[in-house]
Structure 1
Amino acid sequence: MAQSDGAAPEAASDESLANEGAGDPNFMTSLARGLQVLRAFSEFRRQLTIAQVSQATGMSRAAARRCLYTLQKLGYVAEDDRRFSLRPQVLALGHGYLSSTPLAVVAQPYLDSVSRTLRESCSIAILDGEDIVYICRSAETRIMSISLIVGTRLPAYCTSMGRVLLAQLPPPALEQYLSTAQLVARTGQTSTSPARLRKILAETRAQGYAMIDQELEVGLRSIAVPIRDLRGQVIASINVGAHAARVSLEEMQTRFLPALQGCAAELGQLLV
């Protein structure tokens, strides 16, 4: 589900967790609830009360309190005047993934080089459900109203990296996405028609890159290409974003696109 500007995706409701684990003896509802609570925090929700956690997750206040108590005992959250916040210990949960993902480990100097050459921000993301997740980033300037960092999630349908990744989905998976994704108009230029998006993704797959013009946020233009491993499988996408007032669409195609394609090719050679 696409989220509003700058917001983290809402955690699944307690009811949806019950449906997810219905009839599955191996499903640990208590663990799922704990992860729900961690996902309730975001850049815009750094401190939460028990009541706010309960509202964000859909679980009862008693369940939210027990989860927060347990997470506090384990060192993942801290309490100050009945308001809870995440502790640095949470970073260990993501570090294991990043340190074991070859692309995230080797990509940074390549991103830095592209960013310095173009004097714009450069990022790599993967597809996770209906969102893209940033796994590596080099920022020359801040180009969005929110701070984009490793771990940031954005809706795939209106981002250049997201469209590159959606374009590579098998037809059944793409149709499933188009039938369930909430295509919300983020700006006046956002494409929200499934038929229109299907056509855009077909063009993206054919031309090998995606470009958006102020569809995610007013004033933001972005261009992205796929990153393929040595077997030719698309594993991520890489983009460059810039202010629309500073960089034209033509410049993105003539100057940014070759730099991205070269970087993607180099990274692909490093991945098995």
Structure 2
Amino acid sequence: MTESDRDAGFATTLAKGLAVLEAFRPDRPSMSNVEIAKHTGLNRPTVARLTYTLAKLGYLKQEASKFRLSWAALMLVNPLLVNTKILQIARPSMQKLAQDVGGTVSIGVIDRSNFVYLETSRVNENVWTSQDLGTIGPLVPAAIGHALCAQLTDEEFEVKIRQMKRNTPELWNKYSPAFMEGVESCKKRGFSVVRGTWIPGTHSAGVPLLRDKNGECFAMNCRVPVFRLQGNQIEDEIGPRLISLAESVRNQLAFIFP
């Protein structure tokens, strides 16, 4: 029996419906009921009822035997994004850094044992699969994961560790030493560096950005293909530039919302 099974207030059907919506990813934008069942762990009859309902409500669109997210799903996140001044302020500086170093610069937040990208700036080249709004990845092996978790209180950090151990045990067993070191690095020198762990052939730096009045943690990362880096550039230049970028964003926010 799971923790949610023991919670009398937990709406299981709603949770299953949200699991269906969450199953759609950039690499699987269109899926049949059988495919959705495979990725959610739900049985096919349940999935069929949920996709029918979600399509009737406008959140899914059916094309032949497959479903894809409808534009109505975007309405769920729009109230969050339109009020995120952080993204508007950070965007120009993120784009400049991405152009200067030939990589991508992203802002992300925590979602359970994952991070979610809210914004990404990149060079105008298709160097590798680039991160976009809503892209999800595990906290443990990623520099932005280190930077996000570095902003948690001790109690929150312990809860997050238990969550990661439970949800991503293989990643935790493999990357936990580097994760703990990265979190400590963010606290001591302001950024963490990951070399080819999450996306092979790239190095990345992550830096804490801020924690808002609602307790939401924001962090930034910069990922660059190894062939574009010189020497220890990720440590000597990119990490410190991310720190400066984050400080500039915080100062501008403080000016707008003193």
Distance change >3 Å, CA 263–CA 194, structure 1 → 2 = closer
Supply the distance in 2 between the matched residues of 1:156 and 1:123 (Cα, whole angstroms).
Answer: 14
Q: Paired residues, what number?
A: 249
* Cα deviation code 1:138-188 (max 9, x no counterpart): 0114454x4310111111121111111222322333334334423546xxx
* Distance apart, 1:43 and its partner CA: 1.8
Instruction: Give secondary structure in 2 for the equivalent of 1:66.
Output: helix
- Is the Cα–Cα contact under 8 Å of residues 59 and 71 in structure 2 kept in the other structure? yes
Among candidates 156, 169, 192, match of residue 210 of structure 1: 192
Identify the residue that residue 24 of structure 1 maps to in structure 2.
8
* Distance apart, 1:252 and its partner CA: 2.0
Supply the distance in 1 between the matched residues of 2:31 and 2:216 (Cα, whole angstroms).
Answer: 38
Aligned runs of 1:255-270 on 2, under 5 Å? Answer: 255-270=237-252
Identify the residue that residue 124 of structure 1 maps to in structure 2.
107
* Distance apart, 1:247 and its partner CA: 0.4
Matched, 1:197 2:179: yes
* Cα deviation code 1:241-270 (max 9, x no counterpart): 111122045212333233222221111023
Instruction: Give secondary structure in 2 for the equivalent of 1:122.
Output: strand
Supply the distance in 1 between the matched residues of 2:119 and 2:59 (Cα, whole angstroms).
Answer: 24
Identify the residue that residue 82 of structure 1 maps to in structure 2.
65
Identify the residue that residue 219 of structure 2 maps to in structure 1.
237
Aligned runs of 1:8-19 on 2, under 5 Å? Answer: 19=3
Among candidates 230, 234, 251, match of residue 252 of structure 1: 234
Supply the distance in 2 between the matched residues of 1:51 and 1:115 (Cα, whole angstroms).
Answer: 40
Supply the distance in 2 between the matched residues of 1:106 and 1:142 (Cα, whole angstroms).
Answer: 25
* Distance apart, 1:193 and its partner CA: 5.1
Identify the residue that residue 72 of structure 1 maps to in structure 2.
55
* TM-score (ref. length: structure 1): 0.80
Identify the residue that residue 42 of structure 2 maps to in structure 1.
59
Identify the residue that residue 149 of structure 2 maps to in structure 1.
166
Q: Structure 1 stretches (4+) deviating beyond 6 angstroms?
A: none
Supply the distance in 1 between the matched residues of 2:38 and 2:146 (Cα, whole angstroms).
Answer: 32
Identify the residue that residue 83 of structure 2 maps to in structure 1.
100
* TM-score (ref. length: structure 2): 0.84
Alignment root-mean-square deviation, CA: 2.7
Supply the distance in 2 between the matched residues of 1:245 and 1:116 (Cα, whole angstroms).
Answer: 15
- Is the Cα–Cα contact under 8 Å of residues 104 and 120 in structure 2 kept in the other structure? yes
Distance change >3 Å, CA 167–CA 38, structure 1 → 2 = same
- Consecutive unaligned residues in structure 2, runs of 5 or more: none
- Is the Cα–Cα contact under 8 Å of residues 211 and 218 in structure 2 kept in the other structure? no
- Is the Cα–Cα contact under 8 Å of residues 101 and 228 in structure 2 kept in the other structure? no
* Distance apart, 1:37 and its partner CA: 1.0
Supply the distance in 2 between the matched residues of 1:98 and 1:218 (Cα, whole angstroms).
Answer: 30
* Distance apart, 1:118 and its partner CA: 3.1
Supply the distance in 2 between the matched residues of 1:210 and 1:41 (Cα, whole angstroms).
Answer: 30
- Structure 1 vs Structure 2: percent identity of aligned residues? 23
Supply the distance in 2 between the matched residues of 1:157 and 1:123 (Cα, whole angstroms).
Answer: 17
* Distance apart, 1:58 and its partner CA: 2.7
Instruction: Give secondary structure in 1 for the equivalent of 2:30.
Output: coil
Instruction: Say which structure is richer in helix.
Output: 2
Supply the distance in 1 between the matched residues of 2:237 and 2:185 (Cα, whole angstroms).
Answer: 20
* Cα deviation code 1:16-37 (max 9, x no counterpart): 5xx5154424x33332222111
* Cα deviation code 1:119-147 (max 9, x no counterpart): 32211111222111111110114454x43
Instruction: Give secondary structure in 2 for the equivalent of 1:238.
Output: strand
Supply the distance in 1 between the matched residues of 2:100 and 2:163 (Cα, whole angstroms).
Answer: 39
- Is the Cα–Cα contact under 8 Å of residues 137 and 149 in structure 1 kept in the other structure? yes
* Cα deviation code 1:73-128 (max 9, x no counterpart): 12221222221112222211122211122213432223123223333221111122
- Consecutive unaligned residues in structure 1, runs of 5 or more: 1-14
Stretch deviating more after TM superposition (66-75 or 174-183): 174-183
Distance change >3 Å, CA 193–CA 70, structure 1 → 2 = closer
